[in-house]
Amino acid sequence: MDYKKSNAPLTTVTWDTDKMSSRTGNIYETVMIISKRANQIGVEMKEELNKKLQEFASYTDNLEEVFENREQIEISKFYERLPKPSLLAAQEFIEGKIYYRNPARDKQVEEE
């Protein structure tokens, strides 16, 4: 997913809990869905950042390289300015972009 183009807020937002839990019927289930997606997003972002920073990896310590590596600093600052994974996941949930299922609920429906 392209997190750079997300319209998720950059700061903490107060969400309407009734609106958030309207699809699941349970605010705790909604929070679990969002938290699991936030973990996935966090891992993806970390892997992407590590790939980009790996290009700059130097296995010898040279004082000149520490001060000259502005590109690495800019990449790190860019990722710091992105919305946090929890905000991205909440925005995806509100927009209906997250697929989720509850196996326990599916099992209850089958038994009835």
Would you say residue 64 lies in a domain?
yes
What does the block give as tokens for 51?
A: 């790939």
- Contact present, 79 and 49 (Cβ < 8 Å): yes
Number of domains in the chain: 1
Would you say residue 8 lies in a domain?
no
Would you say residue 3 lies in a domain?
no
pLDDT score of 105? 72
Question: How far is Cα 40 from Cα 73, in angstroms, rounded to an integer?
Answer: 25
Summarize the confidence of residues 28-52 as an average pLDDT. Answer: 93
Would you say residue 26 lies in a domain?
yes
pLDDT digits (tens, 9 = 90+) for 2-17: 666 777 777 778 888 8
Would you say residue 66 lies in a domain?
yes
pLDDT score of 74? 86
Would you say residue 7 lies in a domain?
no
pLDDT digits (tens, 9 = 90+) for 44-102: 999 998 888 887 766 665 655 555 577 888 888 888 888 989 999 999 999 888 988 87
Q: Between 104 and 93, whose confidence is greater?
A: 93
pLDDT band with cut points at 50, 70 and 90 for residue 31: very high
Q: Between 42 and 75, whose confidence is greater?
A: 42
Those residues with Cβ within 8 angstroms of residue 52's Cβ, 6 or more apart along the chain or in another chain:
75
Would you say residue 50 lies in a domain?
yes
pLDDT score of 61? 59
Would you say residue 1 lies in a domain?
no
For residue 80, give the amino acid letter: E
Which structural domain range is residue 71 located in?
A: 14-97
Sequence length of the chain is: 112
